[in-house]
Chains A and B, each alone.
Chain A
Amino acid sequence: MTMFLIKKSDVGKIAEELARDHQVYGPMIEKGSGQTFFDRADDVSEISLSAPIPSNPPKSVVFPQMERVLAYEYDRPKNSVKIEPDYKVEPKALVGLRPCDLAGMLCLDRFFMGQEFVDEVYLAHRKKMFIVTNTCVAPFKQCFCVCTDSGPAASEGYDLNLTDLGDEFLVETGSEKGAVFAAGLGLAAADDSHLARKKKIVDKSISLFEDIAVDSKAWISRVMNRVTTGFVKEEVWEYIGDQCFECGACSFVCPSCSCFNIADVTNPECEGCADRLRSWDSCSYEGYSRMAGGHNPRKPVEDRRNKRFFCKLSYSQMKKYLRPGCVGCGRCAWVCPGDIGLPNVVTYVRREITR
């Protein structure tokens, strides 16, 4: 694939150019609170490639928190129904995506599009998408993507990948679409020496991770092995389950969590009319796994909690695609009232291994 260089002062042109025929999304800092959001940019100059990792994953672009997927109107006397699918088909561009978040979206792709049935709603969001990733030249405090094979540089799935070389950005193209777009920008070509500089920067970035992530890349993989083979004691899960507040936050902020609920909301002002809403759901809720008739295979909170970690570290992605369902972004640790984000859980399971 081709490589180019773009001056720092010109890097905003990528988003500007994409904005001609895309809805552009990117990391932006909310001024009042200083919090970074990955959100739709009304003004692409607000997108900041140096902003900290966004507080929200880009998941909401392709899988919104609450979304109307269709509307229907049932005419009882005529016994007929009018169904209007509501797919959001506008082309979207994600600019400045962090590598972990891209890895998360690839997990979602496998879930929604890589199995027997393709999810049309997700597909509509995802097709025609242009992705520009941004290499993390230094990790943030909670990051552990080096342990989950998802950073600090993206290796697949992007159209363009940017790396801050100091005075300029290296632009790598990752797809035909990306190559055509980059060629159209009239940029200077890059060569292997720039690639070598990128490698140095990535190595430096890896060395800056928290000790636990640097010293022991097996930190997570040993636990994955343990979880996959089912050797974690009940007491460990109970200890973790006792601390779960059942808020669902870990699922909501996870770039790779894909579970959803469907509800038909009737319109009190129009008889027979309803909106079908799809919204984020979480395995931490008791009603999530409750079956018709009342049986619940995962009623106690610890059974629901361990389900999350089986899912992240074992069966949802690992057993099918040989990669963890966790992408090492650390957001679950930020938002958890019980302080049982994935890093802590890994620590508790490891404590059990070493005992």
Chain B
Amino acid sequence: MNQKPGVCTFCGTGCGHFIGVENNRIARVYPSQNHPVSKGRLCVRGWNIHELLDTPDRIKKPLIRSDGPFVEASCDEAVGRLIDSLKKYPPESIGFLASPRSSNEEQYLLMKLARSVFGTNNICLDSESGHRASLNVLHAGTGMAGMLGSIEEIRGAEFILVAGIDITRQNPIIGSEIHMAARAGAMVVTMDSRRTQIARLSKKFLQVRPGANKLAVLALAKTIYEENLHDPSFLEAHTEGFEGFRRAFGKLSENELYEKTGLKADEIKTVARHLARAKSAMVFFSSGISGLDEDTIGYIYNLFLLAGKIGKEGCGVNPIAGLNNLQGGYDMGLAPDLLTGFQPLADAATAKKFEKEWGTALPSSPGKPIYRSLADQASELKALVVVDHDEGIVRYADAIKKLDFVAYIGAFKNPFAEYAHVVLPIATYVQEDATFTNAERRIQLSTKKIEPEDGLLPGWKLYSMIAAKAGRAWKYAKVSEVMDEIARLTPAYAGVTHAKLAGGFGLQWPVDDKNPGGTRRFDLAKAGRKLAFYGVSDVFEAPSADDRFPFLLMVGKAQHFWHQNNLMKKTHIPMREYNATLMDYPEGYVEICPQSAKEIGVRDRWPVRVVSPHGEMRVSARVSDDVSPNTAYAPYFVQEMISRFLLGHTEVLRQGEDATIPVRIEKV
């Protein structure tokens, strides 16, 4: 039999699959029936992963260039060039852009390389870095910097709120679990500005005005409080800081809330009552460009804390990771101010622990996020190392071109490599043992399935080689020893070894002496602390449309567009689906409702100009009932929007702020 178990590495769901191998090539994929997360299901991406893993569109040889085109080089030569180039600059001028797709071991070693070898804290995740906002809220509130609930408990929840996430597209198998819960009788409520599939499958759909999610959540919390649906003894015994949250309730009148959210009083009240009365309740949301900002997430967390729906069976405040090892990326300390397991760099005892393990002093001042440096004309950044850039479009291309040195390390071809001076190939994740941590903190081991092509090193070996050549011998004999080191330094991973993960379906952190089998969900009884209401602002600047800019534009994902499809473009069927959309809408599209289309005087597929106070772009109109009048939706793959239009809206990009922009749409 030739079926090797593994973990799907597209989104953060972490579905189980089997990979069929023939002649050291990946031939097929099949779902894993007994996997606790996916239970025999895969989505369109997962069903096509074998094509990606067998694509000829790989980086196979080290490349270097001086002024002219790339020339092939030996690995030694390319690594030497990388080290020489980086060593020319002071640490604050070097940056590392890490990939949320790399394994935990690779992410950890890149972090160690940046900090212990090149002495810089300028390291951060490349895509979906908005997940940090969710982790900040949950960590401050409960001490757990990850999903509080568990995917396995979704079917046991009586009430489920899906807030602003197109979950059947982004993480379809989690969407499926929510759908199954709804079919089994759970009260599923979707809060979104656009009628998504999960909205159609929900018992209630709260179609909020774009940018008004926070206000809608406030309205729910206010109802629970004012109707006395909460349990004061729970608040007293288990929480602190409610007063701060309560102050926000009086800021707006009920009528203002209804007007600004576009919702009706009875809609809000019914949902609030269902939430408060349910025995168990969960909420799903995502952070970042297509999700919510930190303050809105703070409101959601506070709402569920007020309702007493945290730390019990079937409960959970659940941020959803759109990428397979986004959660792992933060667990591995890929942030300018964090070490592994969300331990702050600023904490002296933690820094000392790392210095002892690594045998070197750590740079103490926190680094700067890379994209912020790229946006800053006065930035000191001169040299950048990029690993497996996930998106098909490169943002801040002009700033990247101006850098003195760029190195690209990756398994698959990507447009970012065009800006590099040194390109180093690495093996794919099926060519080495690797662990990944999914959205529900499940650390899973995916074992090696095929040998890497001649001369290709897995990431951990390449980073070890770079460290050795730069004068620091790391001495890992095998990749499992990297996890042993992570476990020594990271309390939540303390009990994790590759041997313990082998042959199973993974363990959810924290895995330690007290929880040797992992931790399914955050448990109030074991918390050993009071849960804190998150400090939220009581300023409500919902973007509003006016006569000049009458539409509110939202940005998000589309059926076959995940991160502009860098990976999906390497698979035939998803590529065809992608191309089908591009043939209909070659410049991408902006979705508007039939009434708006009529007013503007355009039909489906007609070109339009989208104008905001900061810029404009030309796209096609897509006419659909899924959006309300004066609302527009653009998927996050429109070349001109990402590479030009949105860059004028740095505030939106930085805050991951609902990405709502008032615009005018004109016929051209």
Nearest CB to that of A293 among chain B residues? B583
Contact of B5 among A33, A265, A290 (CB under 8 A): A33
B57:A35 contact, CB within 8 angstroms = no
B27:A64 contact, CB within 8 angstroms = yes
Complex formed: what's the CA distance from A207 to B600 in Å? Answer: 65
Complex formed: what's the CA distance from A269 to B57 in Å? Answer: 10
Contact of A339 among B32, B180, B200 (CB under 8 A): B180
Which residues of A are at the interface with B, using a C-beta cutoff of 8 A? 28, 30, 32-35, 37, 39-42, 46, 55-56, 60, 64-66, 242-243, 245-249, 252, 261, 263, 265-269, 277, 279, 281-282, 285-287, 290, 294, 334-339
A338:B559 contact, CB within 8 angstroms = no
Known: A37-B30, A245-B43. 4 other contacts (CB 8 A): A37-B1, A245-B175, A269-B56, A287-B580
Q: Distance in Å from the Cβ of A241 to the closest Cβ of chain B?
A: 10
Given the complex, which residues of B lie within 8 Å of A42, measured CB to CB?
Answer: 1-2
CB of B650 within 8 Å of the partner chain: no
Within 8 A of A (CB), among B11-66: 16, 18, 20, 27-35, 40-44, 46-47, 50-51, 54, 56-57
A337:B33 contact, CB within 8 angstroms = no
Given the complex, which residues of A lie within 8 Å of B28, measured CB to CB?
Answer: 60, 64-66
Complex formed: what's the CA distance from A40 to B43 in Å? Answer: 26
Given A242-B197, A248-B573, A287-B580, check contact A337 B175 (CB 8 Å).
Answer: yes
Complex formed: what's the CA distance from A4 to B424 in Å? Answer: 64
Q: Distance in Å from the Cβ of A111 to the closest Cβ of chain B?
A: 20
Given the complex, which residues of B lie within 8 Å of A338, measured CB to CB?
Answer: 176, 179
B573:A281 contact, CB within 8 angstroms = yes
B179:A339 contact, CB within 8 angstroms = yes
Q: Bin the interface of chain B by size.
A: 35 or more
Given A249-B31, A261-B572, check contact A290 B580 (CB 8 Å).
Answer: yes
Given the complex, which residues of A lie within 8 Å of B577, measured CB to CB?
Answer: 285-287
Complex formed: what's the CA distance from A279 to B42 in Å? Answer: 17
Complex formed: what's the CA distance from A277 to B51 in Å? Answer: 10
Complex formed: what's the CA distance from A40 to B27 in Å? Answer: 13
Given the complex, which residues of A lie within 8 Å of B200, measured CB to CB?
Answer: 242
A30:B5 contact, CB within 8 angstroms = yes
Q: Report B156-174 CB contacts with A as 1/0, cut-off 8 Å.
A: 0000000000001000110
A30:B18 contact, CB within 8 angstroms = yes
A34:B34 contact, CB within 8 angstroms = yes
Given the complex, which residues of A lie within 8 Å of B57, measured CB to CB?
Answer: 268
Contact of B572 among A46, A263, A282, A334 (CB under 8 A): A263
CB of B3 within 8 Å of the partner chain: yes
CB of B74 within 8 Å of the partner chain: no
Complex formed: what's the CA distance from A267 to B56 in Å? Answer: 7
Q: Distance in Å from the Cβ of A295 to the closest Cβ of chain B?
A: 10
A243:B41 contact, CB within 8 angstroms = no
Given A64-B28, A65-B28, A290-B580, check contact A252 B1 (CB 8 Å).
Answer: no
Q: Distance in Å from the Cβ of B170 to the closest Cβ of chain A?
A: 12
Given the complex, which residues of B lie within 8 Å of A286, measured CB to CB?
Answer: 559, 577, 580
Given the complex, which residues of B lie within 8 Å of A56, measured CB to CB?
Answer: 30
A33:B32 contact, CB within 8 angstroms = yes
Given A32-B5, A37-B3, A248-B573, check contact A243 B201 (CB 8 Å).
Answer: yes
Within 8 A of A (CB), among B523-572: 559, 572
Given the complex, which residues of B lie within 8 Å of A55, measured CB to CB?
Answer: 30-31, 33, 40
CB of B376 within 8 Å of the partner chain: no
Q: Distance in Å from the Cβ of A129 to the closest Cβ of chain B?
A: 19
A247:B3 contact, CB within 8 angstroms = no
Given the complex, which residues of A lie within 8 Å of B168, measured CB to CB?
Answer: 245, 337
Given the complex, which residues of A lie within 8 Å of B33, measured CB to CB?
Answer: 33, 35, 55, 334
A-B contact pairs, 13 of them (CB 8 A): A32-B5, A33-B35, A39-B2, A55-B33, A60-B28, A242-B200, A245-B168, A247-B46, A248-B573, A279-B51, A286-B559, A286-B580, A290-B580
